[in-house]
Amino acid sequence: MLRPVLIVLFSFLALCLPARAQLFSGEEKVTPSLIADTTAVVAGKPFTAGVRLKMKSGWHTYWQFGGSSGAPTRISWQLPEGFKASPIQWPLPTARVDEGELTYIYENDVLLLVEITPPAQLPSTGSISLKANLHWLVCEKLCVPGEGDVSLDLPVAAEAAPANAELFAQWRAQLPKSTPFPFALQWETGAKEIKARLSGLPKEFKAEFFPLPGEAQVGQPAISEPAADGSRVITIPVEGDTKGFKGVLATQKDGAPRESWAVSRTDSAVVAPAAAAPAAVAVPSSTQSAIATRAATPGLLGILWAAFLGGLILNLMPCVLPVIALKIFGFVQQAGEEPRRVFRLGLAFVAGVFTFFLCLAALVVGFQAAGHGLTWGFQFQNPYILAALIGVVFVFALSMFGVFEIILGSDTATALDSLSRKDGYSGAFAHGMFTTLLGTSCTAPFLGGVLGYAFVQPAHVVILIFAVVAAGMSLPYFLLTWQPAWMRFLPKPGAWMERMKQFMGFVLLGVALWLLSVLGATGGTNAIVATTAFLLVLGVACWIYGFARGIVAKIIVLALVIAGWFFILKGQLDSKPVQNNGQAQNVEGGIPWQSFSDEKLMAAVQRGEPVFIDFTADWCLNCKYNERVVIETEPVRAAFKEKKIVALKADWTNGDKKITEMLKRFGRVGVPAYLYYPGNGSESPVVLPEILTQTSLLHTLSQTKP
């Protein structure tokens, strides 16, 4: 397949300098530049600007529709007041098939043409500065999102001469023609495919079709062999709404240059290139810079510092808080023990945290090497992993209630042996891993961008970043066990601890209930019923283990667990909940959310409407906090209504691939994440922090005038 690593799609925290390409493995894969077909700007006279992308040999960027995967280049203009920029005019791409996946690409070099219209009145002297921020995806075997700034200064004059005429002529010849096409098309629309019967084209001409599917999902177009009269049939597999379906049909005779025409399913007449979207009104540079979020990174040291802070703050996230009490309870139990042993237990816990993060780093590196991608919180999107997590939490809760004792200790015949069998080094190590596993259900502040950066870096950088995140998360527990004297601020051990232990059992049952609700979202009612039945069997096994420790009892316990998993759970977790026809769930009187799609986003942005995207998941507690405490509040609802903001909800509960691609596009590999397109002709979104406040959100929304 064409590298499912393409889930590392779109632009994210890009290492780039103005008018330079992003560096990847020390090399520039794309070099952008900005040119014009005129020597000067004349008031009221349109001219053409060209964004040129030169790709390193073997690398490619994408057409306006990437095909099976890929993302088009985006241009965010920063023009003087009154200037207008048209949509991009896209030259013909090359169709590329790689391991069964079809994409539409540009190799080596491409010039994207944009018509610039100056205002009717300009100063008689001086110069005009054209600036644009570019986002592209360049791929070979791996894909690298990139960003760059380009600019061009042109003098203002009463007259102008042509410039770069040969280059512009070369690329204009590759645009779809606006003249009537010299053949006939007859469209037929079926339930699963669209057919275009092409006639009037001589047999010796080759035909190619490049789809622009709108909101439909399309497969690989197939063109039949030409009949004696040259007629042929183009068949395009489709799913979904085909109302906006159109495309570009290209013809070629022998080795002559290709010619192409834009064609529509509903009308065989010519559809003018790029006519679907209105011209974007340029925003003054000062405003544009205030609202556009740049994805430039502060360098590896800055990333490492953010990784450390993100790991430290991860301890305060609601995903981790339910199990923090268990760790503190363990420290209280250990407060009266020998200090050096407490420190060694702390080191074992820290080792568990580091082991989990380094294993995750190894997974990322391994998946990259295999051409796949990995995301933060992926385990919450797999029903079998979720069921196993629920079982582990449930078993811990039963232990807290005294149904049985977990024995995780060393076998040394020392005086500390009895202590280590209650909370031994292996127990502390496992606790560190388990805590980190639960903590990955959502990202902390700083971690979103850091992980987006890390997931597409070389192996040694991936490992270094994850190790620093582990160091940040481990620091409080390392310090607390290194200086046991600080535990004097904790309550002294006593009879209350048994009640506290039982209370912690209820806390863990609450965590299990939350995970069970997440499983219901990913696997449906059958998954909840099957998992609950499995927990009943697991509870019986723990009860037997609590009073019978012989070899027979252990065999019975093991047999119950294995039988419960294979005969109750297996197969029941594969079903999916009934979908709601793509509609987001809304509360009465709340924000009118729509389910996210690229097509809805592009249509709204092209209309100049402000758009807010909420990337969320049922298993993300940070997401639910932001939604209930910040987003779905009266002041924010009123702002959405007043400014007519299009609200899109990207539900990532089941790991939707397109949403994953959108997250990666903006340097995120987990939720929560929020994007705000202010409208006003700007295509550059504001990337909001993971943890929102009402004040900061309203301030961001205020950039759009009603």
According to the model, what pLDDT value does residue 647 have?
Answer: 93
Amino acid at 58: G
- Dist. CA 183–CA 170, nearest whole Å: 25
Residue type, 113: L
* Phi, psi of 628, rounded to the nearest 5 degrees: -85, -35
Q: Helix, strand, or coil here: 93?
A: coil
With tokens 């990259």, the residue in question is 368
The CA distance from 370 to 597, in Å, is 28
Percent of the chain's residues with pLDDT above 90:
20
Q: What does the longest C-alpha to C-alpha distance in the chain come to?
A: 99
Q: How confident is the model at residue 61 (pLDDT cuts 50, 70, 90)?
A: very high
- Taking the C-alpha atoms of residue 667 and residue 669, their distance in angstroms, rounded to an integer, is 7
Run of H or E including 303:
helix 300-313
Task: With CA atoms as reference, report the closest residue to 61 among 22, 18, 35.
Answer: 22
Q: Confidence class of residue 91 from pLDDT cuts 50, 70 and 90?
A: very high
What confidence score (pLDDT) does residue 117 get? 94
Q: How far apart are CA 239 and CA 194, in angstroms?
A: 10
Q: How confident is the model at residue 603 (pLDDT cuts 50, 70, 90)?
A: confident
Of the candidates 452, 451, 446, 455, the residue with the CA atom closest to the CA atom of residue 689: 446
Q: Using 50, 70 and 90 to split pLDDT, how confident is the model at 79?
A: very high
pLDDT band at 327 (very low <50, low <70, confident <90, very high): low
At residue 415 the predicted structure's pLDDT band, cuts being 50, 70 and 90, is very low
Q: How confident is the model at residue 457 (pLDDT cuts 50, 70, 90)?
A: low
C-alpha dihedral (201, 203, 208, 209), degrees to nearest 10: 50
- Model confidence at 240: pLDDT above 50: yes
- Distance of alpha carbon 659 from alpha carbon 615, whole angstroms: 8
| Window from 466-475, 547-556, 686-695 with minimum mean pLDDT | 547-556
Kindly indicate the confidence band of residue 613, based on its pLDDT and cuts at 50, 70 and 90: very high
Over 50: is that where the pLDDT of 678 sits? yes
Q: Please name which of 217, 222, 240 lies closest in space to residue 232, comparing C-alpha atoms.
A: 222
Residue 2: pLDDT band with limits 50, 70, 90: very low
pLDDT number for residue 571: 64
- For the cut 50, the answer to whether the pLDDT of residue 385 exceeds it is yes
pLDDT classification of 445: cutoffs 50, 70, 90? very low
CA distances from 189 to 262, 512, 556 (A): 18, 49, 61
Number of H helices, E strands in the chain: 17, 26
pLDDT tens across 14-34, in order? 333 333 445 555 578 899 999
Confidence of residue 487 (pLDDT cuts 50, 70, 90): low
Confidence of residue 231 (pLDDT cuts 50, 70, 90): confident
From the number of C-beta atoms within 10 Å of its C-beta (0-12, 13-18, 19+), residue 279 rates as: middle
Q: How far is CA 176 from the centre of its chain?
A: 33
Write down the pLDDT at residue 87.
Answer: 93
Cβ pair 459, 377 in contact under 8 A: no
Taking 60 as the threshold, does the pLDDT of residue 135 lie above it?
A: yes
- Beta-carbon contacts of residue 559 (< 8 Å; ≥ 6 apart): none
Task: Give pLDDT tens digits for 343-356.
Answer: 777 788 888 888 88
- Residue 268 has a pLDDT of 42
- Helix orientation angle between 459-482 and 300-313, rounded to the nearest 10 degrees: 40
Instruction: Indicate the pairing of strand 594-595 with strand 646-651.
Output: parallel
What is the model's pLDDT at position 522? 63
Averaged pLDDT for residues 180-185: 76
Q: How confident is the model at residue 444 (pLDDT cuts 50, 70, 90)?
A: very low
How confident is the model at residue 410, as a pLDDT?
A: 35
C-alpha neighbours within 13 Å on the C-beta side of residue 12: 29
Gap between the Cα atoms of 410 and 423, Å rounded: 10
Q: How far apart are CA 10 and CA 265, in angstroms?
A: 30
CA distances from 412 to 302, 342, 420, 423, 610 (A): 45, 17, 9, 14, 66
- Smallest CA-to-CA distance from 176 within 95, 82, 258, 80 is with 258
What does pLDDT average to over the chain? 75
Give the integer Cα–Cα distance in Å for 546 and 399. Answer: 9
How is residue 66 annotated by DSSP?
A: E
Return the pLDDT at 372. Answer: 46
Averaged over 297-307, what is the pLDDT?
67
pLDDT above 60 for 247 = yes
Region 609-631: mean pLDDT is 85
Q: Say which DSSP state 262 is in.
A: E
Q: How many CB atoms are located within 10 Å of the residue 192 CB?
A: 8
d(CA 313, CA 311): 6
What is the tens place of the pLDDT at every residue in 489-537? 655 555 665 676 677 678 778 878 877 877 776 667 777 888 888 888 8
In whole angstroms, what is the distance from residue 348 CA to residue 453 CA?
29
Q: Which DSSP string corresponds to 564-584?
A: IIIIIITTTTS--PPP-TTPP
Distance CA 533, CA 57 (A): 58
Confidence grade of residue 286 (pLDDT, cut at 50, 70, 90): very low
Residue 675 has pLDDT above 60, yes or no: yes
Question: Which of the four pLDDT bands, split at 50, 70 and 90, describes residue 437?
Answer: low
Q: Which of 116-130, 577-591, 618-632 has the highest mean pLDDT?
A: 116-130
**8 A C-beta contact, residue 228 and residue 263:** no
Q: What are phi and psi of 96, to 5 degrees?
A: -125, 130
Top pLDDT among 287 and 82 is at 82
* Calpha distance 87→90 (Å, rounded): 9
Residue 204 has pLDDT above 80, yes or no: yes
What's the pLDDT tens digit per position in 553-576? 788 888 888 888 888 777 666 655
**pLDDT score at 416:** 29
Rounded CA-CA distance 373/3 in Å is 9
Structure tokens at 579: 């979908």
Q: What percent of the chain has pLDDT over 70?
A: 71
Q: How far apart are CA 186 and CA 268, in angstroms?
A: 8
- Provide the token pair at 421: 């069998």
